[in-house]
Amino acid sequence: MFEDLKPHIADLQKRLIIISITLGVMFFVCFAYYEPILKWILAPIEAVLPKGSQMVAIEVSETFFTAVKVAFFGAFLVSLPVIFWQMWLFLAPGLYSNEKKIIVPFVLGATIMFLIGAMFSYYIVVPYGFEFLVAFGSQVVAVTPSIGAYVTFFIKIVFGFGIAFELPIITFFFAVIGVVNDKMMKDFFRYAVVFIFVLAALLTPPDVVTQFLMAVPLILLYGVSILIARIFNPAGKEEIYEDDESEE
């Protein structure tokens, strides 16, 4: 059994090495230009800070490690096409020839949807979320956020939205290989709504507005995913309806 897994393990190592090299190269490029990236990251919170407030570094090494986080963040975003491409190449040997043809839509779609999720969080969710957090208690205490803690929180939110917006692409992939269909997703809808609101509560600041700003688009994306499953599931619709009749 272990001998059968050796080719898959070797292929996985190859894909991980390519991804690691790509991230490493992009990391050094982004580290050289971390200041413009950091300014872009800081823009949402600087827009809502009270007059006289500014970002601070609590520890001596905080600015350096913040630059490292920013560089990895930039490297990951730039490397997304390569990451998704290598993921696909690892999965491809287990697919049929017609399924392998969707590599370009998968890679482009996954990259674009992640970036859309990231931009949605940056331009819509993050401004509202940090405005709430900064305004809360600002009349009592001076707001001087730690730059390291802010960048970590920012990256967590952006990554969360980027991954969440992959739902239509994941559905597209599983529909094409026949794992899911629209009926299955419709039946799971009520549980998906609960899961989405729990995820929104975990990934967003603790206020209702930003939680709804994440939950509502995800519910809409789930609806789009149902339509995608209906279109791309290779199983004939007669087969699905036959299953319904047999259950009755």
Number of domains in the chain: 1
What pLDDT digit, counting tens, does each position of 14-44 carry? 999 999 999 999 999 999 999 999 999 999 8
Is 61 inside a domain boundary? yes
Residue 140 confidence class, pLDDT cut points 50, 70, 90: low
Domain span holding position 64: 2-165
Is 156 inside a domain boundary? yes
Is 144 inside a domain boundary? yes
What pLDDT digit, counting tens, does each position of 53-83 carry? 778 888 888 999 999 999 999 999 999 999 9
Q: Which residues pair with 248 in a beta bridge?
A: none
Helices within the chain (DSSP H only): 2-32, 34-46, 62-91, 97-100, 103-120, 126-135, 147-164, 167-176, 182-187, 189-203, 208-232, 237-247
Q: What sign has the CA pseudo-torsion 26, 28, 33, 35?
A: positive
Amino acid letter, residue 153: F
Is 195 inside a domain boundary? no
Is 218 inside a domain boundary? no
Is 58 inside a domain boundary? yes
pLDDT at position 239 over 70: no
Q: CB burial class (10 A; 0-12, 13-18, 19+) of residue 245?
A: exposed
What pLDDT digit, counting tens, does each position of 106-122 carry? 899 999 999 999 999 99
* Residue 232 near residue 172 (C-beta atoms within 8 A): yes
Quote the pTM value.
0.83
Produce one character per residue of 198-212: b if its CB has 16 or more CB atoms within 10 Å, e if not.
ebbeebbbeeeebbe
Residue 4 confidence class, pLDDT cut points 50, 70, 90: low
Is 116 inside a domain boundary? yes
What pLDDT digit, counting tens, does each position of 178-220 carry? 888 888 999 999 999 999 888 888 877 666 777 888 889 899 9
Is 115 inside a domain boundary? yes
Residue 232 confidence class, pLDDT cut points 50, 70, 90: confident
- Predicted local confidence at residue 241, as pLDDT: 43
Mean pLDDT of the chain: 84
- Predicted local confidence at residue 22, as pLDDT: 96
Residue 243 confidence class, pLDDT cut points 50, 70, 90: very low
